[in-house]
Amino acid sequence: MGGCVRDMLLGREPKDFDVSTDAHPEEVAKLFRNCRLIGRRFRLAHVHFGREIIEVATFRAQHSGEEEGSTIENGMILRDNVFGGIEDDAYRRDFTINALYYNINDFSVADYTNGIDDLQAGTLRLIGQPEVRFREDPVRMLRAVRFAAKLGFRIAPETETAIWAMGGLLQDIPPARLFEEVLKLLLNGCAVQTYELLRHYDLFKYLFPETDRCLGEEEEGYPHMFVLRALENTEIRIADNKPVTPAFLIAALLWEPVRSTVHKVRQKDMTEAQALQIAGRDVLAEQTRHVVLPRRFTTQSREIWQMQPRLIRTGTKRALRLVEHPRFRAAYDFLLLRALAGEDVQSQCDWWTRFQEVDDEARHAMCQGRKHSGQQRRSRSKHRKEEK
């Protein structure tokens, strides 16, 4: 059902296969000993086969919020466990292209919402009245952007109009829920197009308001390019099957507000590292009000930020220890992105790139050479003063 049927019809390889049935979750659990029921807002059965998990959903039906198993508050669905038939379920789906069912009895595709027509036209259309459906679950606006970017589809005009008008509803979504949505948005291999659509529909500001504010400003007459360069890099890494950690993504998305805050909090007797520590703490505290970022990731993000001043000080014996730091590679990659975005750190990038390419003897020579050069400069300066 849903995404896997859509992807197969588009000639894409489905990420996974989900099952939909008229059996209730408890009935599915009785059939499979390796089944676990999850979710409260939306009750599901997960059937485990080794490392594989088959998600089994029960057909849902339309409801008003008064039925047992449902809760609606201010138009938003808080619990959706009113069960029905397959046609009822189709009209409860979000987009027409996600309301397609593959029937294993006769190997046919069941389409109740003209999803195949929209699939062929490359149109992303919400089922039902967009204002009602977005009010039921504002996260559907983020899903619209994600699918449009991933599939290269055009959002239907009536759906698009509602997104423009109702983006503010995302502020009512629990910040803890939005973190997973952010990962789906930006780790889908289409990060740049997704990001551009988020900004186009003015949704990005509800996820990362401080970053959005910084992006609206210019630095020395040039727009801030760091986030865009980071997302381009994310796409390349995903295409090359290289890992992309949420910690690095968080560090990149919040770097502009961190830089801005450093200038505000730094005092005369404060080092850049100390200012970075305060700025990182303040920016993350503010960000948590909008999207909750797990501590296991933000701790690593702060380390990436904290290492930036240490990477600027090249040519010292500390470099030999710094290159062994578990977060060195991420911090070095971050420095490369800073140079790519126009920050004046290219010479440091070149030095660290060279430092990693040579053997231990050459590394010691690079450190001692810079130290020796510094001693020579100080000696020449002292000599000039004595002559005066």
Task: Please report whether residue 191 resides in a domain.
Answer: yes
Task: Please report whether residue 327 resides in a domain.
Answer: yes
Q: What pTM does this model have?
A: 0.83
| H runs (alpha helix) in the chain | 3-9, 25-31, 86-92, 115-121, 130-136, 139-151, 157-166, 175-186, 191-200, 204-207, 209-215, 226-239, 246-253, 255-265, 272-287, 295-312, 318-322, 328-340, 346-357, 360-387
Q: How confident is the model at residue 83 (pLDDT cuts 50, 70, 90)?
A: confident
Q: Is the pLDDT of residue 267 over 90?
A: no
At 199-252, the pLDDT tens digits run 999 999 999 999 999 998 877 656 789 999 999 999 999 999 998 999 999 999
Task: Please report whether residue 140 resides in a domain.
Answer: no
Q: Is the pLDDT of residue 331 over 60?
A: yes
Which of 95, 142, 92, 90 minimizes the C-alpha distance to 123?
95
Q: Is the pLDDT of residue 73 over 90?
A: no
Task: Please report whether residue 231 resides in a domain.
Answer: yes
Task: Please report whether residue 363 resides in a domain.
Answer: no
pLDDT at 126: 97
CA atoms within 13 A on the CB side of 384: 6
CATH code at position 295: 1.10.3090.10
Task: Please report whether residue 2 resides in a domain.
Answer: no
- The residue segments making up the domain with residue 293 are 174-357
Q: Is the pLDDT of residue 71 over 80?
A: no
Residue 142, C-beta contacts closer than 8 angstroms, at least 6 positions apart: 170, 181, 185, 198, 203
Query: Are the C-beta atoms of residues 99 and 127 closer than 8 Å to each other?
Result: yes
User: What amino acid positions are annotated as catalytic residues?
Assistant: 16, 18, 94
Task: Please report whether residue 339 resides in a domain.
Answer: yes
- Tally of domains within the chain: 1
At 121-174, the pLDDT tens digits run 999 999 999 999 999 899 999 999 999 999 999 999 999 999 999 999 999 999
In the chain, pLDDT over 90 holds for what percent of residues?
Answer: 72
